[in-house]
Amino acid sequence: MKWDAWGLAEKSTTLSDGIKGLLQQALGVTTRQTPERAAEDVVLAASAVSEDQLAALAAIVGERFCSTAHYDRLLRSGGKSTIDLLRRRSTEQQNAPDVVVIPGTEAEIAEILDYCADNSIAVVPFSGGSSAVGGLDPVRDRFDAVLSLDMRRFDSLIDLDTDSGIATLGAGLPGPRVEERLGAHGFSLGHFPQSFMFSTIGGFAATRSSGQSSAGYGRFEDMVQGLRVVTPAGILDTGRAPASAAGPDLGELFVGSEGTLGVITQVRVRVHPVPESVVREGWRFPDFETGTAALRALRHEGAVPTVLRLSDEAETGVNLATHDKIGKEAVTGGCLAITTFEGTTDHTAQRVAQARAVLQSHGATSLGEGPGNNWERGRFDAPYLRDALLDAGALVETLETATTWSNLATLRAAVTKALTESLSGQGTPPLVLCHISHTYATGASLYFTIVCAQKEDPIDQWSKAKTAAGDAIIAAGGTITHHHAVGVDHRPWMRDEIGDLGVTVLRAVKNAVDPAGILNPGKLIP
C-alpha cells in the first residue's frame, strides 16, 4: 500500500486531457500543483516512547517486530479517506504512531495491552490500513504515546471444517489471501468490499464490513460464526453454535467495535463452495425510481442475486458504474443495474430465469453480459481514479447510508440537497452521483460520490460538506454509516444514531473490558 495514495504504484492512473477539459468546463476544476512528496521528507514528531519503553516492548515481541523507524510510523499514520490523503501531502508536521509493534501470539498481545495500560500508551490495532473514516488516526487523547499494533502475523487459515462450511481465519489474513487459501480447498468466503485488495479478516469484523456480494452471501456479521478477542481484561471467545438463545449475542458487540473494545485475533466464518457457475447481466431502467422498485420486488419475491446494484442517472451518465471508463462511452441513458448470480449450475440458471422475469416485468431492458463484466473488472479500482482526480485538482469523496425502502427517495434527496447546497455555497457546485449497492428485504444502502473543484483548503471544504450530509442523514432518518464504520469522522453523530442510553451501554462495556481506556481512543464511542 502506498503511504500517500491508494494501493499499488503500478496501478495508478491519470486522466486524459479530454476528461480534464470536461472537469474544467463542468465543475471549474483547474489543475493544482500538489507536488508528490518523498516519504522521507514528511515531518513527523519525534517518537514519544522512551528507550526503556522500546526495550520493554521489544522484549515482548522480539526486536525485529518493534520499530520507531520513520517509514514504519508513516505507513500507519492513518487510513485512506480523501482527507487522509490530502493531509498526507501537507508540509506541516503530521501525526503518526510513536511505535509500531507486530505481535505474533495472543499472549504477546495481552502483554502489550498490560504494558500500555501501565505506561499511558494508547493502542491502535492496524491491519489493512484502508479505513475511510479515520478509524486508524493516532489519537493521543490523554495518553503519552500511541502504539500501532500491526496484526499482519495473524495470517493463517487455522481450520477448515468442510462439512459445516466454517473456516477459522487469523485476523491479519488479507482478503485476497483468504480466497487463495480457501480456494485451494474448493471454498470461498465471498466477501468483496471495494477495499478488498488491501483488506483483512480482522478489519472486516472490526468495521462491520459489507461486500459487493452482500445480497448473496450477506454482510460480514452474517458470515461470522465466532470471534476471539484479546482485551485488557482477558480473552473473549464467542459463538458456541450456529445459533443460540443463550442470552444476548456478544459477538455482535465486538463485530463493529473498531478496535475500541479489544483486539480481534481469530474469526470463524461461514464459507461456501467456489461457485460452479457465474452469470452476470446489465440492465437498463428508464429512471432510478423504476429501478429501485424493481430491486425491491426482486428482494421481496425471493429471486435474490449474489450481486445487485443500481446506479442513478448521473452515475450512469458519467459511466462511473464501470470505474475504469469514467466519462467514456456512455452506455445506456437511464439507469444501469447489474446482477450477478453464483452457485451450482442448475440453481444459478433457475434463479437467473426467476430474476429476469421479475426485472423485466418492472421495466428493465437487458444489456447482456457486457456491463456486468466491465464492472467486475474495475470493481476494486475506483480509489485509483480518486487519486487521479485529486491530482488533477478535483475534490472527490464518497459517503454512504441506508434506510427502509419507503424512506429511500426522501433520504437520497435530502443528502443530495445538503451536499449540493454546502459545496455550491462554497463556490464549488458539485456533481453528486448515487447508487444502491446493498439491498435487504426491508431497505437498501445509498452510496454517494461527490466531485467538485478543490478550493484553497480542501480539507475544510470537504469537512463542511460532510457535516451538512451527516446532519441531513440524521434528520432524514438514515443510519450514519452503512459499511464505512464510525471512526473519528462519524463519531459526532453517534449519539444521534444510538441515543444517550446506547452511549451509556457502550461506555459500560468499554470500561469493563478496557478499564484504562487505551484501546483506539477517539473512535466510535462519543
Residue 296 or 379 having the CB closest to its own copies: 296
Quickly list DSSP for 127-143.
SS---SSSTT----TTS
Residue 141 or 301 having the CB closest to its own copies: 301
- How far apart, in whole angstroms, are the C-alpha atoms of residue 212 and residue 154? 25
Please name which of 432, 458, 464 lies closest in space to residue 26, comparing C-alpha atoms. Answer: 432
Closest contact distance (angstroms) between CB of 42 and its own copies is 30
Query: Does residue 188 have a known ligand-binding role?
Result: no
Query: Does residue 125 have a known ligand-binding role?
Result: yes
- How far apart, in whole angstroms, are the C-alpha atoms of residue 457 and residue 431? 19
Residues whose CB falls within 8 Å of the CB of residue 469, separated by 6 or more in sequence, listed in order: 399, 415, 418, 419, 422, 448
Residue 39 or 441 having the CB closest to its own copies: 441
Closest contact distance (angstroms) between CB of 137 and its own copies is 16
User: What's the Cα-to-Cα distance from 254 to each of 139, 235, 264, 268, 484, rounded to whole Å?
Assistant: 21, 12, 8, 13, 16
Residue 249 or 421 having the CB closest to its own copies: 249
Looking up cell 473456516 gives 167
- How far apart, in whole angstroms, are the C-alpha atoms of residue 389 and residue 14? 8
Residue 348 or 428 having the CB closest to its own copies: 348
CB of 126 closer than 8 Å to CB of 132:
no
Query: Does residue 430 have a known ligand-binding role?
Result: no
Query: Does residue 261 have a known ligand-binding role?
Result: yes
- Angle between the N-to-C axes of helices 51-61 and 106-118, in degrees from 0 to 180, rounded to the nearest 10: 160
Active site residue 447: yes
Please name which of 265, 144, 262, 267 lies closest in space to residue 512, comparing C-alpha atoms. Answer: 262
Query: Does residue 129 have a known ligand-binding role?
Result: yes
* Given the residues 115, 217, 384, 447, the one annotated as active site: 447
Looking up cell 481484561 gives 233
Q: How many CB atoms lie within 10 A of CB 216?
A: 20
Closest contact distance (angstroms) between CB of 204 and its own copies is 11
Closest contact distance (angstroms) between CB of 444 and its own copies is 7
Query: Does residue 264 have a known ligand-binding role?
Result: yes
Query: Does residue 128 have a known ligand-binding role?
Result: yes
Cell for 117? 495500560
Residue 141 or 161 having the CB closest to its own copies: 161
Closest contact distance (angstroms) between CB of 454 and its own copies is 28
Q: What is the largest CA-CA distance in the chain?
A: 71
Closest contact distance (angstroms) between CB of 128 and its own copies is 15
Query: Does residue 258 have a known ligand-binding role?
Result: yes
Quickly list DSSP for 325-368.
GTTSS---SSEEEEEEEEESHHHHHHHHHHHHHHHHHTT-EEEE
Question: Catalytic residue numbers?
Answer: 447
Which segments are annotated as binding site for FAD? 125-131, 207-210, 258-264
Which segments are annotated as binding site? 125-131, 207-210, 258-264, 386
